[in-house]
Amino acid sequence: MKATIHQPDFMPWFGFFNKISKCDTWVVLDHVENNPRDAAFWGRRVRILVNGQPTWLSIPLNRPDVAGVIGVPIRDMTINLREPKALQKCLRTVQMAYAAAPYFERHRDLVESYFADEDPSLMGRNMRFIEAVLDRLGLRPRVIASSSLGVTSRGTRLLVDILHAIGADTYLCGGGAGGYQQDEMFAAAGIALQYNRFEHPVYRQLRTEQFVPGLSIIDALFCVPTDRLAGWVRTL
């Protein structure tokens, strides 16, 4: 059984869904701690195309309640609903950026429902978005939350222990994982390691002649027919 492990990012990029499409199981890494104040945290930000320029779309998160605490498990992070203007600005930015896209009307509900959601849980909103996109692309992996497995190790040992806990014999990781994980630990544990060699598809984007990769999946959904995307996500 092949599995991948990834955090529940905010409106993730195309490569996220490509990696999941190649696996039987996606383990949602929801119990590890991150800093909700970190501007580079992918759980709260992603790039979209605004007037032909890649632009960050970020949502405000609440700080930890306890003084001195920096990290919070992703499953416990909450969106700052005391800043409704920030969330409304995010929605308006997407609407203005993609209103002219050929498939905006078909998929606008994905974004509008995210920002209309009253659930303060970051993971709850992110997962509902991701699962809706998986459904539209015809992807139906088994989804398991890491918090349900009782694994407490760290680093590469954490990944190995998660894979053992779910009975996986193959692990598909992202192309950049070699910079931080110890690959030899997977072989020692009897787990085959594969790197996802993803090549981003090129398609016609709004208001730019030069293709911009690495954007939120909504850029592709708004610009490309869904059946074509579903084919790309499995083959690239």
* Structure confidence at residue 96 (pLDDT): 97
Four-point Cα dihedral 209, 210, 214, 220, nearest 10: 30
Does the pLDDT value for residue 62 go beyond 80? yes
User: In the chain, where are the structural domains located?
Assistant: 2-235
Nearest to 43 by CA among 79, 15, 69, 67: 79
Read off the pLDDT of residues 95-144 as tens digits, 9 standing for 90 and up: 999 999 999 999 999 999 999 999 999 999 999 999 999 999 999 999 99
pLDDT band at 67 (very low <50, low <70, confident <90, very high): confident
If you average pLDDT over residues 178-206, what whole number do you get?
93
| Least confident segment among 94-98, 149-153, 172-176, 199-203 | 172-176
Does the pLDDT value for residue 57 go beyond 90? yes
Read off the pLDDT of residues 21-56 as tens digits, 9 standing for 90 and up: 999 999 999 999 999 989 889 999 999 999 999 999
pLDDT band at 178 (very low <50, low <70, confident <90, very high): low
- Cα–Cα distance measured from residue 97 to residue 219, given in angstroms and rounded to the nearest whole number: 10
Strands annotated E in the chain: 2-6, 25-28, 33-34, 45-50, 53-58, 72-73, 142-145, 170-173, 192-195
CB 206 within 8 A of CB 104: no
